[in-house]
Amino acid sequence: MRKILFKTLLVISGALLILSLTFFVYYLMVTKDYHLDESKLVNLESSAEIYDAQGNFMTESAGGLNITDLKDVPQHTVNAFIAIEDKRFYKHNGIDMRGVIRAIFNNVKSFSFKEGASTISQQLIKNTHLSNDKTLNRKLAEMKLARELEKRYSKDEIIEKYLNTIYFGNGCYGISSAAEKYFGVAVSELSLNQSAILAGMIKAPSTYSPLTNPQKCFERKNVVLKEMYDQNLISEAEYSACVDSFEEISDIKIENSSYIYLVNKACDDILERSGHVGEKCKVYTYYDKNLQEILENSVKDSYPEYDRSFVILGNGNEIKAFYSTVGEAVRQTGSTIKPILVYAPAIEENVIDECSLINDERTDFGGYNPANYNDKYYGYVSAKFALAKSLNVCAVKVLNSTGLEKSKNYARKLGIDMENADDSLRIALGSTEKGATLTQISAAYGAFVNKGRFVTPSVIDKIVGENGKIIYKNDKNGIKVFGEDTAFIINDCLKFTVTDGTAKYLHREDLSLCAKTGTVGNEKGNTDAYCVSYNGDYIISGWYGKADGSFMPNSVTGGSVPAKTLSDVWDAIYNSGYRPSELFSTDKVVRVNLDKISYEQEKRIELADENFPLRYVTQAYFKKNRVPKISSERFSSPKIENAEIEVINGEICIRLCLAEYCEYKIFRQNKNSKVLVCDSAFSENRYEFKDGTVSPDTNYRYSVIPYFKNGDGITEGKEISLPKIKTPRLTGGDWWLTDTEG
């Protein structure tokens, strides 16, 4: 038994030795060409060159230009990075074997290579010498160079070089530029809280940026502080004083160059996801200098008492211009959500047409009682009218008919975040868990420009690496969300919003626009005011509010301040030589004539035939498979609803009940002749006729022919014969009594 055990151990030991030797040989082969280049340990080269849509150079994001001596860095700043990134920094020789073993275990358990156990020394090597690819070969090279680094430099020298080369997002490299960029201070002035913010950011700058994700930044900062406290790097008093403080984050302001801010944010996200952070690259954007100047000149001084964001997208959702005092703030969307979440899904699912009638009245939805703006209600209105006037009750009714989950799925496809917690009809009015940015809202409307196809908005066309390799290329194919018939009908509704709805400030005779407004607030004031507008060329949207969420006056609505400003932007664009493009047309919809009388008075949707006078016709677009099948015969066969005949004071009196659009002719029959005695078109009293030319003690018969006149033509209905009637005798008896025969 012992011999068997001994042999087994011997075999295992031999196998492990062979495996170790094999791995060592493999390590030597893989890493033989990698050598530490001291000149790379401080990157003085431009990291990213940014170009506009025409390929013209705009600016660059530079790394390591402001070199900071470690003696100028507060100790709590150094401790923050060590605590969260490499707690055994001063104990290992460049490779933390405890961390490596833990990472191997976790990677095996998850069947992935997601955890790398990188020390600060390894991170410095990765950032300055290697790519970000998560491969075994790169990891081995990283470990070799980290060991060489530790042999040549002291720990203080390594942490100094690390702090001068680390990327902090927003085109910002090095601790000195980060301190200035985010807090406007020198490195030596960084507070404990500010240090924790910067140390927390470097894991994923786009995710934990205080500019774009303040809440996640706050949570990550607290993780850093907890690590510092647990490692006895700060006292309990210091921890307690900082852990709940949001002040440093809320005080951060967006730089003036709004578009570059947007580029840096997008670039951070792309490079992080693709594993190319810190690599030298060229970034080609959709920036349009002329549009940016128009936007800034129209917007930057308008209503300066409020924060504002404005964006111009091309018809493929390319971000061509952007101006904001709050960056890409996530806010409640208000009624801008209605076409996206409510009406387009309902039309797509054949729940409604644009002319569908909805009763606009106070309604209780299981305890939820939405109210219209100014508590004004219109009774039965078309879906088109309800959308143009942004009627809240109607929107909730349509959403309720389509279904919450079905409608939410459409919104998600259009890039609007919808949570499981968004399970109330309140979302019809824009009250959602996560809200959206102005760019997200605007891009969702891009589906209506692009025949129902949604393309994710992008500020970047492509990113090219130093070797010419394409790191990123914007996919403009998108996904089909709606049929082009649905998109066309929504466009028709939103044109009506400009001419007759809440966006009238945008109406002009020489420029056809679609638009939707939105307002968030209550009786105390409004917090958000939006207007989204578009044509075949651009989607241009604006938002006014206050960054801290405080109230503006109730007079600041989507249809007022933002719409006025957008009107100036559109005017400036087309005064600059641009020529407007119309939105698409499609043969998948038809415009039909409807019986206006049936529609408005009887609440029925019926086709109007060719005999209808134009004044009694209303028009609407339908999907081809949704055209009404019932036709009104109102003007094909005019009718008399009721007729009365009697003798009064020796005269024969005929009273007729007929529609206001209908006329009639009355004929008196004498023996073999038929004489026209009345044409209501020439009568003062079109509902009553008195024949004073009759003789006493005589039988008379009358007939009536209803008709209507349509232009030069006349359409006659069926001739109606009235009961025979006899006039009374002149002498004797009760002459005033009426004598009639059936």
| Alpha-carbon distances of 356 from 275, 500, 606, 622, rounded to whole Å | 52, 18, 12, 10
Phi-psi region of 50 (alpha: psi -120 to 50; beta: other; left: phi over 0): beta
Q: Which residues does the chain have with pLDDT short of 70?
A: 1-36, 38-39, 42-46, 61-66, 97, 99-117, 129-139, 141, 250-256, 278, 731-742
Supply 371's token pair.
């109210």
| Alpha-carbon distances of 507 from 415, 449, 542, rounded to whole Å | 29, 19, 16
Handedness of CA 651, 654, 660, 661 (dihedral sign): negative
Q: What DSSP assignment string belongs to 697-726? A: T-EEEEEEEEEEEETTEEEE---EEPPPEE
Residue linked to tokens 């809202």: 441
In this prediction, residue 738 carries a pLDDT of 47
Q: Which of 684, 710, 700 is nearest to 646 (CA)?
A: 700
Supply 128's token pair.
């300055």
**3-class SS at 246?**
coil
**Using only C-alpha atoms, what is the Rg of the chain?**
39
Q: What angle do CA 280, 221, 436 make, to 5 degrees?
A: 75
* Residue 636 to residue 634: CA distance in whole angstroms: 6
In this prediction, residue 439 carries a pLDDT of 97
* Residue 299 to residue 12: CA distance in whole angstroms: 74
Instruction: Give the Cβ contact number of residue 719 at 10 Å.
Output: 12
The torsion of the CA quartet 496, 500, 504, 510, rounded to 10 degrees, works out to 60
Whether 43 contacts 63, CB under 8 Å: yes
Residue linked to tokens 């070199």: 67
Helix, strand, coil tally for the chain in percent (to 5): 40, 20, 40
- C-beta contacts of 219-222 below 8 A and 24+ residues apart: 221/193, 221/196, 221/197, 221/249, 222/196
Q: Which pLDDT tens digit goes with each residue over 138-159?
A: 667 677 777 877 888 888 988 9
The torsion of the CA quartet 550, 553, 557, 561, rounded to 10 degrees, works out to -100
Residue linked to tokens 């677009």: 621
**3-class SS at 78?**
helix
Residue linked to tokens 């018969």: 701
* Residue 286 to residue 283: CA distance in whole angstroms: 10
* Residue 506 to residue 514: CA distance in whole angstroms: 9
Q: Which of 478, 513, 59 is nearest to 282 (CA)?
A: 59
Q: Which pLDDT tens digit goes with each residue over 380-435?
A: 999 999 999 999 999 999 999 999 999 999 999 999 999 989 999 999 999 999 99
* Residue 280 to residue 49: CA distance in whole angstroms: 8
Supply 199's token pair.
């140390």
Q: Which residues contact 415 (CB under 8 A, 6 or more apart)?
A: 440, 443, 444, 454, 456, 457
In this prediction, residue 62 carries a pLDDT of 55
In this prediction, residue 437 carries a pLDDT of 95
Instruction: Give the Cβ contact number of residue 125 at 10 Å.
Output: 27
| Alpha-carbon distances of 53 from 232, 285, 318, 460, rounded to whole Å | 52, 6, 10, 9
Q: Which residue intervals of 583-695 are DSSP H helices?
A: 596-601
In this prediction, residue 181 carries a pLDDT of 81
**Sheet of strand 319-324, all strands in order from the earlier edge strand to the far edge:** 319-324, 307-314, 538-545, 525-534, 514-522
Q: What DSSP assignment string belongs to 362-409? A: ---BTTB----GGG---EEEEHHHHHHTT-HHHHHHHHHHH-HHHHHH
* Residue 677 to residue 651: CA distance in whole angstroms: 13
In this prediction, residue 130 carries a pLDDT of 67
Supply 631's token pair.
């036709």
Supply 437's token pair.
């940015």
Residue linked to tokens 């095996």: 108
